[in-house]
Structure 1
């Protein structure tokens, strides 16, 4: 049965984006250094008030990039073992602006407590180490894909705002 034009344009339910985030314990990070050299990594996270927080060490290249205030890209992606089609894995990619949170501030204490609840006692150990800093990653915009022909722009609140069907695929 063919889908009608209207059905293809239908937005997925907003909770799908949140479900993908909630199914993840870590986020994939893409950053660049002062020379524009890219770096990809990951970090465990918590989300509070539309902001993602990560506790990261200066031993990792991405930490300096984030501490220097360079924009980052975050990715949440469906597990390969759960996907029906490897070329169309469900994923959310977000442009984000990083801000370092002052150690022992109210925000620091609240977020570190939440990280401990979510990721365990190891957070007590690493949050006490001087090379670990807390970074807030505030979404700017992004995209959500949940299959072929099903790609959407999302806003800073991670709400779907528009179907991304401007550039159709072309055959050879």
Structure 2
């Protein structure tokens, strides 16, 4: 696969899902995992979560988190090799701009406005690095705009 095909597959995967699996760390550095609806805007990811949610509390003390975009099981050719993108990210809380708000409304509707009048906040995630899996022997390291094949991952019989 060339870089254009890999980036296209990555974009298609992100577009194919409406929610992202979110992993944060509690005060003891134990992971807490849940999910949230998201948008992508100018290369960053945004979720809206309640200020009372565990994720929000944990991100206020430790902005390091993980995001997982994963192919629907029913669409996977092989359950062991579901397409997935996992990213190590840094969070910025209480992000509110007109562009982000409009993008969220376009994807999720006016309920976004209602949530913001309640106790919800918008969290921005900026990717630091990650891994993209497109199938057997198709593992790629993601660092910014750089994509490189992970050598030694072939999944051949022993």
Distance 1:84 1:166 in 2: 23
Gap runs ≥5 in structure 2: none
TM-align CA RMSD: 2.0
Structure 1 residue 126 and structure 2 residue 112: aligned?
Answer: no
What TM-score, normalized to structure 2? 0.89
Q: 1:156 to 1:65 in 2, by over 3 A?
A: farther
Q: Could you say which residue in structure 2 is the equivalent of 1:155?
A: 143
Distance 1:87 1:169 in 2: 11
Write 1 or 2 for the structure with the bigger share of strand: 2
Structure 1 residue 43 and structure 2 residue 32: aligned?
Answer: no
Aligned match of 1:165 in 133, 139, 151? 151
Gap runs ≥5 in structure 1: 1-8
Deviation at 1:23, TM superposition (A): 1.2
* Alignment: residue pair count: 157
What TM-score, normalized to structure 1? 0.82
Distance 2:60 2:138 in 1: 35
Deviation at 1:62, TM superposition (A): 1.0
The question of whether the paired residues in 2 share the 8 Å contact of 1:32 and 1:38 is answered with yes
Larger-Rg structure: 1
Deviation at 1:127, TM superposition (A): 1.2
SS of residue matched to 1:101: coil
Deviation at 1:135, TM superposition (A): 0.8
